[in-house]
Structure 1
Amino acid sequence: MKIAVISDIHGNIYSLMKVFEDIDDNRVDKVICLGDLVGYGPHPNEVIALIKRREITCLKGNYDASVCDGDFTYIRDNNINSFSLPWAVEEVRNSNKYFLENLETEYRLKVGKREILFVHGSPNSISEYLFEDGSNTEEIMKNLNADILVCAHTHIPSCKMFGDKLFINDGSVGKPKNGSPNATYCILDINEETGEVKVKFRNVEYEFKRIVKDMTMLKFPSNLIQSYETGREV
C-alpha cells in the first residue's frame, strides 16, 4: 500500500496543486494530510476547497486551531504571527472554520502487520515540535503505541528508527524550512505481507514567484515573503 503524506500547506495553493500532480503521477492508494492548511499564505480558502474536493483524510494543525479560536493559543506570538493570524481569521470563511474546527487530531491506520499513528505535532499536543534528535522525540517513540509515527509541524523532512519503531516527519508542502522553496512530502510504501516499509521523500518544484507576487500585492511583511523564497525561517 502506498500512502502519500502531506502537511503544512499554509495557504499556498500553487505548491499544493503541483504536489497533487506529483502524487497522481506516483499512483498512491491513499493521501493523508496532517494539517496546517491555513496561516502565513494568501490562499487559505482555496487550499481548504481543494482538500475538500479531493476528499482527503485530514487532521487539524496548530495554526488551524488558532485561526478557529482567533487567539495565539497554539502558535507563537511573534511579529509574523501578529500579522498572519488576524489576517487569516478575517480571510477564512466561517464554513471553512467550521471544517477546520471539526477535524480530528490523530488518525490510526493498520496496514498488514503495521499500525501507523498520524499526528500534526506529537501524540501529546498539536503544537509540540518533534525533531529526530530531540529528547522528547526519543521519549515519545519509546512509549509509542504503534509501529510507525508520522508527524509534521517542524516543516523539516526526516526519518529515523528508534529501536523497532519508525519516526517520520513529512516536511512541508507550502512553507518549507530546509533551505529550499520547493514543496516536500513523503510516500510510505508498505508491503502488507512482510511489513517492510519504504519511505520516499518527494521534492517538488513549483512557481514560488507566483505566491511571492500575490503576497507582495497584499502587502504581507517582507520577512514573511522572503521565507517563501528561501525556504528558511527569517
Structure 2
Amino acid sequence: MKIAAISDIHGNIYSLMKVLEDIDEQKVDLTVCLGDLVGYGPHPNEVVALIKRREIPCIKGNYDASVVDGDFTFIRNTSINSFSLPWASEEVRASNKFYLSQLPTELNYDINGVKIKFTHGSPNAINEYLFEGAENTKNVMESLEEDILVCAHTHIPSYKKFGDKTFINTGSVGKPKIGSPNATYVLIEIKEDKTVNVKVRELEYEYKRIVKDAQMLKFPGQLVSSYESGTE
C-alpha cells in the first residue's frame, strides 16, 4: 500500500495543486493531510475547499487551531504572525473554521500489520517541534507504541530509524524551510511483508504566482520573500 503524507499547506493553493497532481501520478492508495491548511498564504478558503472536495483525511494543525481561536493559542507571536493570524482569522469563512475546529489531532492506521500514527507536531502537543536529531524526538520515539510516526510542523522533511521504529516528517507543501521555494511531501510504501519504504518528493511549482498575489494584498515583505527563499 502506498500512502502520500502532506502537510503545512498554509493557504498556498498553487503548491497544493501541484502536489496533488504529482500524487495522482504516483498512484497512491491513500493521501493523509497533517494539518496547517491555513495561515500565511493568501488562499486559505481555496485550500480547505480542495482538501474537502478530494475527501482527504486531515488532522488539525497548530495554525488551524489558532485561526479558529483568533488568538496566539498555539503559534508564536512573531512580527509575521502578528499580521498573518488576524488576516487569516478574518479571511477564513465561518464554515471553514467549523471544519477546522472539528478535525482530530491525530489519525491512526493499521496497514498490513504495520501501525502508523499521524500527528501535526508530536503525540504530546500539536505545536511541539520534532527534529530528527533532537532529544525530545528520541524520547517520543522510545515511548511510541506504533511502528511509524508521521509528523510535520517543522517544514523540513526527514526520515530516520529509531531502533525498530520509523520517524518521518513530511516537510511543507506551501511554505518550505529548505532553502528553496520547492514543495515537499512524503511517499510511504508498506508492503505485505511489512517492509517500509520512504521517499521524500520535492517539487517545483509556480511560486511567482503566490508572490504576486501576496504583493497585491500588501502582505509584509518578509513573508512575501520567504516564498522565494524557502526560509522562515
User: Which TM-score tier does this pair reach, normalised by the shorter chain?
Assistant: over 0.9
The correspondence of residues 150-161 of structure 1 with structure 2, limited to 5 A, is 150-161=150-161
TM-score, with normalisation over the residues of structure 2?
A: 0.99
For 2:195 and 2:230, how far apart are their aligned partners in 1? Answer: 32
Q: Are the equivalent residues in 2 in contact too, given 1:12–1:44 (CA < 8 A)?
A: yes
Q: Are the equivalent residues in 2 in contact too, given 1:184–1:203 (CA < 8 A)?
A: yes
Q: Deviation at 1:231?
A: 0.5
The corresponding residue for 1:172 is 172
TM-score, with normalisation over the residues of structure 1?
A: 0.99
The corresponding residue for 2:72 is 72
Moved >3 Å (runs of 4+)? none
Q: Are the equivalent residues in 2 in contact too, given 1:37–1:44 (CA < 8 A)?
A: yes
For 2:224 and 2:16, how far apart are their aligned partners in 1? Answer: 17
For 2:143 and 2:90, how far apart are their aligned partners in 1? Answer: 40
Name the SS of the counterpart of 2:60 in structure 1: coil
The reply to whether residue 111 of structure 1 matches residue 111 of structure 2 is yes
The correspondence of residues 1-234 of structure 1 with structure 2, limited to 5 A, is 1-191=1-191, 193-233=192-232
Q: Deviation at 1:113?
A: 2.1
- Note the residue ranges of structure 1 that are not aligned, 5 or more in a row: none
Q: Deviation at 1:184?
A: 0.3
Kindly provide the amino acid, as one letter, of the partner of residue 213 in structure 2. Answer: D
For 1:218 and 1:109, how far apart are their aligned partners in 2? Answer: 41
Q: Are the equivalent residues in 2 in contact too, given 1:113–1:194 (CA < 8 A)?
A: no
Name the SS of the counterpart of 2:107 in structure 1: strand
- Note the residue ranges of structure 2 that are not aligned, 5 or more in a row: none
For 2:186 and 2:112, how far apart are their aligned partners in 1? Answer: 20
For 1:156 and 1:196, how far apart are their aligned partners in 2? Answer: 24
Provide Cα deviations, 1:6-26, integer angstroms capped at 9, x if missing partner.
000000000000001000000
Count of equivalent residues? 232
